[in-house]
Structure 1
């Protein structure tokens, strides 16, 4: 009877432990994702989207990799599907607007992009949307003066937009360099913003060409717009071959004469001192022998 009682207690304990573990596993909450969409148009060509996904860990947002999102134009349907993307280690994924939605794209001057995540074992479902108006930038130059014009599609025509903040800069490998001391410009009633080029000493290789760039960044209505133009306004850099000339960086036999004189003078001075010391040692020894 006692043995049966022990078996019963043991089984009850296991059942309670299993039930508690199962309840704990089922109660474990899933994480929430934050999804953001950015819209880009470069040189007034095919638009693209950049999706960023992050989640809050210990009170701080961290990027989430491996999240697959479905992107749509205006409505969630097969006919307006832009495509599917998966985030990288930075929590980002990008995609160009495909030709398959060209008809839908041309039907309106304003569009809403949708991003949906169906959820998985770790995270709940998530959605995001972004509404932008179709716009573009025109970049013109004359006598080292730059004019950027922002236009918005209204009905069937492009019209200028007033009050849009943009940057006019020179495109460089490490970042964009403003064309003068003014970091940003604002369009006037004609949709134009003008700037004078004041980077005449900017090195531009053998050709002297530099790339100007005008950009609208993170605008609530138009997203991110950029346009580029190449102009011959840089300072030409013509390399000089000094291989057969006397320079500091040449071979030993091509070293500058003044440098050779200094080196040989130091070497001669050291040897003279050594010879003088040896001579004095022999002289001291000779004098010591005579005293004995």
Structure 2
């Protein structure tokens, strides 16, 4: 009987161990990642890639930090490796196209970028790809008219592209300001889009220079293209030093006279009321003592 009881206890303990192991294994399923690739070319120079990684938490996508993604050009091999990037707290990571894939880059006018994540303890493996054609923007100016030309490389010739939407704006610290009331423009059969500069009187610093920018954003064929040009169409701005003048932002001894009069008047009025009250209290006590 005792032996039967010991065997039963051992089987029960073993069953509990397996049940606990299965419960623990099923309690932490791996999450799925969403990987996206964005292609950028600024001023027709070296292209760059921006990788965004996110996952869905409680029905909403959230950026994922610390994910290492391998990037390749056209095919997943050692000879076409662009590099390995790790996402920041915004779930983003960027990299320029290296010289090591220059030979592969020159073999075609259209390329596919591959992003691979091998998976870890928290997330399943993931992949993404982006196919873009090689293109550029040429920006010219004449008589306060700005012309942006979009060209695509076909075979060995830069060919104008029709129907591409782009923005023509002035580059400012707070963002890009359209050169007129039209927010976007579309290229014609010659690949050109023209805009009249109507931001007259725009401050341009000491030299009066403004930076014009033409950009194509999130195009399905060409990605993100931008080009800049400096023009002398702004108003020269010379800062005036008012440090030794009486202004609201100066030191206390340089405060405006009218402000000093108001503050001193308030000060004298408050202290005058307090002194008047003290004298009246003393007077009342004297009268009370005589009675």
Calculate the TM-score normalised by the size of structure 1: 0.85
Q: Distance between the aligned counterparts of 1:208 and 1:55, measured in 2?
A: 47
Q: Secondary structure at the match of 2:202?
A: coil
Pairwise CA distance, 1:235? 2.3
Pairwise CA distance, 1:181? 1.3
**The structure with more radius of gyration:** 1
- Could you say if the C-alpha distance between residues 157 and 11 of structure 1 is closer, same or farther in structure 2, counting changes exceeding 3 Å? same
Q: Does 1:187 align with 2:199?
A: no
- Written as runs of structure 1 = structure 2, the 5 A alignment for 1:266-281 is none
Q: Secondary structure at the match of 2:49?
A: strand
**Residue 198 (structure 1) aligns with:** 198
Structure 1: which 5+ runs fail to align?
A: 282-287
**Residue 12 (structure 2) aligns with:** 13
Pairwise CA distance, 1:22? 2.5
Pairwise CA distance, 1:280? 11
Q: Which digits, 9 at most, give the CA deviation of each residue in 1:113-165, with x for residues without a partner?
A: 11111122222221111100000001111222111110000110101100000
Q: Distance between the aligned counterparts of 1:55 and 1:255, measured in 2?
A: 57
Q: Does 1:157 align with 2:157?
A: yes
- Could you say if the C-alpha distance between residues 260 and 150 of structure 1 is closer, same or farther in structure 2, counting changes exceeding 3 Å? same
Q: Distance between the aligned counterparts of 2:275 and 2:88, measured in 1?
A: 73
Q: Distance between the aligned counterparts of 1:94 and 1:122, measured in 2?
A: 23
Pairwise CA distance, 1:254? 4.9
Q: Distance between the aligned counterparts of 1:255 and 1:80, measured in 2?
A: 67
Q: Secondary structure at the match of 1:158?
A: strand
Pairwise CA distance, 1:251? 5.0
Bigger Cα displacement from structure 2, 29-38 vs 126-135 = 29-38
Q: Distance between the aligned counterparts of 1:242 and 1:61, measured in 2?
A: 51
**CA RMSD, 1 decimal:** 3.1
Q: Distance between the aligned counterparts of 2:184 and 2:88, measured in 1?
A: 32
**Residue 66 (structure 2) aligns with:** 66
Pairwise CA distance, 1:109? 0.5
Q: Which digits, 9 at most, give the CA deviation of each residue in 1:178-237, with x for residues without a partner?
A: 111111111111111111122223223222222111110000000000111112222222
Q: Distance between the aligned counterparts of 1:272 and 1:230, measured in 2?
A: 63
Pairwise CA distance, 1:21? 2.5
Q: Secondary structure at the match of 2:150?
A: strand
Pairwise CA distance, 1:274? 9.7
**Residue 173 (structure 2) aligns with:** 173
Q: Distance between the aligned counterparts of 2:20 and 2:274, measured in 1?
A: 89
Q: Distance between the aligned counterparts of 1:70 and 1:261, measured in 2?
A: 70
Q: Distance between the aligned counterparts of 2:192 and 2:121, measured in 1?
A: 51
Q: Does 1:42 align with 2:33?
A: no
**Residue 108 (structure 2) aligns with:** 108
Aligned length: 287
Q: Distance between the aligned counterparts of 2:90 and 2:82, measured in 1?
A: 22
